[in-house]
Amino acid sequence: MENKTIQQQLESIQQQLNSLVREMETERRRRRELEELKSDLNLIAREVFQATIEELDDVAHHLNTGDVLHFLKKFLRNLRNLSKLMDQLESMMSFVQDAGPLTKDVILELMETLDELDRKGYFGFMGEVLKIMDTIITSFTVEDVRLLRENIAHILITVKNLTQPEMLATVNNALSFFKEMDIEIEEEVSYWKIFKELRDPEMRRGIAFMIQFLKNMASKNGEFLKQLQSRTETKQED
């Protein structure tokens, strides 16, 4: 009985020893792995440090320790501002994501409007207008444009007078008269025949009308020339 008890105790001790041996083996293997990891990390750290030294060697003469410390202090002082900036950036990104569908709809609507304008001929019309402007620019000088600017008021007044109903009616009657008038001049016209025609009252009224018309035209031209000369003298004095 005692022998059996001793045997059991020995087996228990053996099991405990085996367990301790396994734990020691496990601990030894873990320690070996940590040492290998430490060795690898040390090797990597040395390579990184060496590479960092080589890279920083190119900019070493551009900075010093004081600059680096000043930058770090400024960075730390502005951490709150940087945090606010990041928050604003996140808000902006959220807005862009939310506004994406709306922007897409606006772009589609704009494209449809442009397509409709193109089908109606707006772009073709603008192209021809640009060609007209190009022709004007290449056909007239700056001096011509300056004279046009100075006389634009007189031109507009003339156009306004020409577009009055009574003036349009007069021009239309004159055109109709010249269109329907059939005048034939004989090859030989004597002064006596012309003198006889002058005795006709309608001829005298026609000549009087032409004389009065020429006098009025000369008077208007004289006033215009005086105004133009006055403006020229004023500009020269300035």
pLDDT at 119: 86
Task: Express each pLDDT in 145-159 by its tens digit.
Answer: 788 788 888 778 877
More confident residue, 11 or 30: 30
State phi, psi for 96 to the nearest 5 degrees: -60, -40
Q: Is the pTM of this model over 0.75?
A: no
Most confident of 67-71, 134-138, 204-208, 230-234: 134-138
- List the chain domain ranges: 1-48, 96-139, 140-178, 196-238
More confident residue, 178 or 66: 66
- HEC profile for 85-111? HHHHHHHHHHHHHHHHHHHHHHHHHHH
Helix (H) or strand (E) holding 82: helix 79-120
Quote the CA–CA distance of 13 and 4 in Å, as a whole number: 14
For residue 107, name the pLDDT band (cuts at 50, 70, 90). Answer: confident
More confident residue, 216 or 42: 42
Q: How many residues in total does the chain contain?
A: 238
